[in-house]
Amino acid sequence: MNTKAIGNITICIGARSLLRPQSRLRIPVLSQQQTARAAPTAGFRRGQLIAQPQRYQFHTTAATGTTMSTTGAPSRVPISPQAVDAPLTRSATFLILTISRSSPDAIKTVRSTLASVGDLAKNVSVRDLDARFACTVGIGAGVWDAVTAGRQARPAELRPFREVRGARHVAPSTPGDLLFHIRAERRDLCFEFERQLLGLLGDSVDVVDETVGFRYFDLRDLLGFVDGTANPVGPDVPESVLVTQEDDAAAAGGSYVVVQKYVHDLGGWKALRTDGQEAVIGRTKFDNVELDDCAAESQKSHKQLTTIEDEQGEHDILRDNMPFGSPGAGEYGTYFIGYSRRLWVIEKMLERMFVGDPPGLHDRLLDYSTPLTGCVFFAPTGSQLASLDPDDD
């Protein structure tokens, strides 16, 4: 273990620890036949492609918490409504809406539309079941009581996004009543679902933000690093993502969702040497090997600051981040979306990133990545969504 000066930053650098696994996920090397079928990506080296973790084996339905296989033969049924762990896809739309205060029928229209989202998703997904279309809906704290008509208790931890203000960087809290996390292997399916959805909602809502994300090579962000390595997979997902009966009976089966839209200073980032970038992230850039943690009072990496542990062990969240951008507009970014059984876990991550641990030693990734938005939602179960139909009142 030693330290290295990078500009005016001194960061602890270490080799891979022999006392902890490289990752909670296995990163297999594809066979020669698999490599031949794979599309060229930044992961090639000496004729082999290092396969990055993907969630194609399982998805967890928020409605029941059951785990279902999504690999193998072509799909025969659509992905279940509110499947928070739907498979990673090549395209996604992150749609944030506010409910109009000027339309007298806005709440009724929203309730009716949310109740029919499952049917709408099915109508779009059946056009190509292998495209793994899915949509997860989140409802914000400010409209929960109105949208549920008081028939569903507010989830215990549901509250607006809390601004986090550090000495140099701020995580802002921005408006957002409804979240639609739309994803598929095909961009046209995401487009078609959003078109039909907004047609149903009409003037009952206003679009606050619409971000289109895409898969970048072998699950890398635009900074060049693999994103989402620490995600739980398979049977471990429900433990990290879904609220249990013991946690909050009224919210059981659902999940807290936090979203932030980050834009990157790629020029400044690229000015760092590769080892400097690796020290900031906490992993090697090419082969995604985890670096040693630094001492408690030292400058910590992004990986270390976003690892939350207590007497119960490590608390995972499920990230489904995606790059977005427009080279013509000079915009490059990452859309962060995190699903968690416990909202406080993500809030603690953000506190450690922006304030620092210890305070003053903030996440150096924030020197190159600026959050523009910040919202909290709760994704209820599919059956809870379906029960919102005002005609059933």
Q: How far is CA 274 from CA 16, 28, 266, in A?
A: 16, 24, 13
Q: What is the mean pLDDT of residues 82-105?
A: 93
Higher pLDDT: 32 or 148? It is 148
What number is the average pLDDT over the span 38-52? 34
E strands within the chain? 2-6, 9-13, 44-45, 48-49, 58-60, 67-69, 91-99, 134-139, 164-165, 170-171, 178-184, 205-214, 255-264, 308-310, 313-315, 318-319, 322-326, 331-340, 369-371, 375-379
pLDDT digits (tens, 9 = 90+) for 141-179: 999 999 999 889 999 999 999 999 999 999 999 999 999
pLDDT above 90 covers a percentage of the chain that reads: 71
Q: Is 227 a catalytic residue?
A: yes
Q: Is 54 helix (H, G, I), strand (E, B) or coil?
A: coil
Nearest to 195 by CA among 180, 185, 208: 180
Burial of 160 (0-12, 13-18, 19+ CB in 10 A): middle
Compute the half-sphere exposure of residue 79: CA atoms within 13 Å on the CB side of its CA: 35
Encoded amino acid at 377, one letter: F
Read off the pLDDT band of 235 (50, 70, 90): confident
CA-CA distance, 362 to 123, in Å (whole number)? Answer: 46
CA angle (38 as vertex; 69, 336 as ends), nearest 5 = 60
Element (H, E) at 198: helix 187-201
331-348: pLDDT as tens digits: 999 999 999 999 999 999
pTM here is 0.83
Q: Please compute the mean of the pLDDT values over residues 5-20 and round it to a whole number.
A: 46
Pairing of strands 178-184, 134-139: antiparallel
Q: Which of 177, 209, 221, 227 is catalytic?
A: 227
Residue 23 has pLDDT above 90, yes or no: no
Mean pLDDT of the chain: 85
CA distance 236 to 251: 19
Task: Name the band, by pLDDT with cuts 50, 70 and 90, for residue 313.
Answer: confident
